[in-house]
Amino acid sequence: MSVLLIMVISALVLILAGRFYAPVIGRVLGEKLDRVTPAVEINDGRDYVPTRTPVVFAHHYASIAGAGPIVGPVLAVLYGWGPALLWILLGGVFLGGVHDFAATHISMREGGKNLTIIARRYIGPTAFVLLLVLLIALLALVCAAFLDLSATALTSKVALVDLEAESGSTPFNEELAPHAVTGEEVIHARIGGVASMSVIVITMCSPLIGFLYLKRKIPVWVCSLLAIIICGISIYIGIHHPVTFAPQNWKMLISGYVLISAGLPVWLFLQSRDFINVHILYVGIVFLFGALLMAAIRGGGAVAEAGALPMSNFAEGGKVVGHPWWPGMFVIIACGAVSGFHSLCASGTTCKQLRNELAARRIGYYAMLLESFLAVCVLCCLMVGLSRINYTAYCYPAVGKGNAVLVFAMAVGHTANTGLGIPVSYGVLGAMLLLEGFLVTTLDTAIRLTRYMIEEGWAVFFGKYDVFAALAVPQKEPVGISGTGGLTVDGHANLADMKPAKIVATSGVFNGFLRFLKLYWVNSGLAVAFMLILGWGKGYAVIWSIFGASNQLLAALALLIATVWLMQKGRSIWYTFLPTVFMLITSVTMLVRLLVVKYIPDWPGSAALVVADVLILGLTAGLLVLIVRRLLLKRAVGAQ
């Protein structure tokens, strides 16, 4: 089989899903084009900003893509590229796309509020508290994993012999280091410095782009052209003036940036930098497709050659990775198939920027399909560009931790060399540029989402006091059936019929304390602190396992909340309920396995991970009990 056939079949599956399956989900969710969105109704200029769909798509796609559809397939392909490909395609169409679309649409319908507020409205206040703690814990894991990935990418180095290059022939700085396979001291190229300078330049130019498309209403295509020019200039500067720091220094610098960015208006850095960065990703996907196409035409695209990565490899994959194919592969490959983090982006920043309801489908479902196609391209590059020996040596070395970022970069470099005749080192540079900007983008988004979660937590916990009264969600208690969290007799949340809540006046130190908690920078600082506690000393490979399991658990819970929402609206639930069951069983099995097989035997070295794992399992059990009780209560009320 050729990678060309794999890509054509994959593209066809994803296009047909967008054309025929996405509208079905839209009808189930109840799309209405003439309904006013929260972005238009609130429009506060900071978080709620009605924005043109291509710009929001760029922000959303850059946020959800990150390293997920790259690192996941790289780590999981050891099980075999065949099962990985099937999971990416089927998961993207029937789980990931539905999950992202539903989260975007439902959050938009519920006033631009995130999953915790929706859980409070339809399940109850206890569910809000449990889900809030769970999501903050998950976001801390997301940020910790991507912080370490960013530092790893920015300091990655590869032997010149593996780049098929001579000393001085690449755009990278060089140094002596042991070879990953032989252990011999050889010259290495430090490949992260160029991408790091590119990220800095793009970030500095972001406010200008945001000002042009949002404040001056410059056409999107003009801003896109300017974004491409900025990207080109940033790469040129990076080649001639690369930036290199130690990994821990990078962690502190990135933490400082996201701390500031998370409290600024969304268009100033987050949205506008995503818009610029996404052009590198768009160009990168076209570049990957072109390189793979030409490799196949030139005869280098066969995937059954001796020494190549196998189509199926369950036994070795389970032994080396440490987990059997199920649930291991379904957790390791998250973003390319289904990822709970997407629901946080959808219900956190994306839903607050939509100008109409159709945009929820075009952004939620279609961005997931494009991400799945990116994951397919990554798989194909691994098949074409790396031998089985080199892949294992860099991704799962016998000594030390692997470097999935470097594996991807090398695979792209060799694929580009085979297909387009480009020097391997320049293909590697392209891969690093493709990846690094989106690692920081994911971090930027995740810290802002954590800030949202913390702020909404304060607003609920201290909502009866005057400082937070205007932000309390909900500010009033719904009139309904006692103990149903505001459900009326027909099972719907009647948010219009409310009883006024008593507001308590505050003064002195307590008033100052509440005002302190309300500051953007305080909550951004808490988010960054959680990230650093988990991510300072741990490698992403250690965090990735519990992050992946927790992430897939969040996908199951987001789909479950969507199912409850659809049930309350009297609509079909099967499109969300069946994926919920599969993801719930898979993720819980993985979390239990991690606890029993990996974390407890490594005590006390993995104490933080043991606590996180137990906490996540306990919170999940509590949420499931609450949801089942609520549904049984609704059924009993409906039968009266």
Q: What are the E-state strand segments in 137-181?
A: 157-159, 173-178
d(CA 230, CA 217) in angstroms, rounded, equals 19
Splitting the chain (640 residues) into consecutive groups of 10 residues, what average pLDDT does each group show? 87 96 96 90 85 88 79 91 96 96 94 84 84 82 78 76 76 75 78 77 89 85 91 86 79 85 79 82 86 83 66 89 90 90 88 92 95 93 86 78 81 89 84 73 81 83 80 44 37 38 83 88 87 68 71 91 90 95 95 90 80 86 86 66
Q: Note the pLDDT of residue 368.
A: 96
Amino acid present at 23: P
Residue 481 belongs to some domain of the structure: no
d(CA 369, CA 381) in angstroms, rounded, equals 19
* Count of Cβ atoms closer than 10 Å to residue 176 Cβ: 8
d(CA 75, CA 46) in angstroms, rounded, equals 38
Q: Note the pLDDT of residue 66.
A: 67
Residue 493 belongs to some domain of the structure: no
Angle subtended at Cα 56 by Cα 55 and Cα 62, rounded to the nearest 5 degrees: 95
Residue 487 belongs to some domain of the structure: no
Going by C-beta distance under 8 Å and a sequence separation of 6 or more, which residues neighbour residue 436?
150, 153, 154, 192, 195, 196, 198, 199
Question: What dihedral angle (degrees, nearest 10) is formed by the CA atoms of 359, 360, 364, 369?
Answer: -50
SS3 content of the chain, % helix, strand, coil (to 5): 70, 5, 25
Half-sphere exposure of 228 (CA within 13 A, CB side): 8
* Count of Cβ atoms closer than 10 Å to residue 293 Cβ: 18
Q: Note the pLDDT of residue 562.
A: 93
d(CA 194, CA 354) in angstroms, rounded, equals 35
d(CA 417, CA 402) in angstroms, rounded, equals 24
Residue 513 belongs to some domain of the structure: no
Residue 133 belongs to some domain of the structure: yes
In contact, 535 and 145? CB cutoff 8 Å:
yes
Domain with 348, as residue range(s), is: 3-156+191-463+520-639
Give the total number of structural domains in the chain: 1
Q: Note the pLDDT of residue 168.
A: 75
Residue 473 belongs to some domain of the structure: no
Provide the edge-to-edge strand list for the sheet that holds 185-190: 157-159, 185-190, 173-178
Q: Note the pLDDT of residue 494.
A: 37
> Which token pair is 454?
């913390």
User: Which 3 state secondary structure label does DSSP give 157?
Assistant: strand
168: left (phi over 0), alpha (psi -120 to 50) or beta: left
Whose CA is closest to 195, among 151, 226, 229? 151
The CATH number of whichever domain residue 206 belongs to comes to 1.20.1740.10
Residue 509 belongs to some domain of the structure: no
User: Which 3 state secondary structure label does DSSP give 47?
Assistant: coil
In which element (H, E) is residue 499 found? strand 498-499
Q: Note the pLDDT of residue 307.
A: 66
The answer to whether the predicted template modeling score (pTM) of the entire model surpasses 0.85 is no
Residue 577 belongs to some domain of the structure: yes
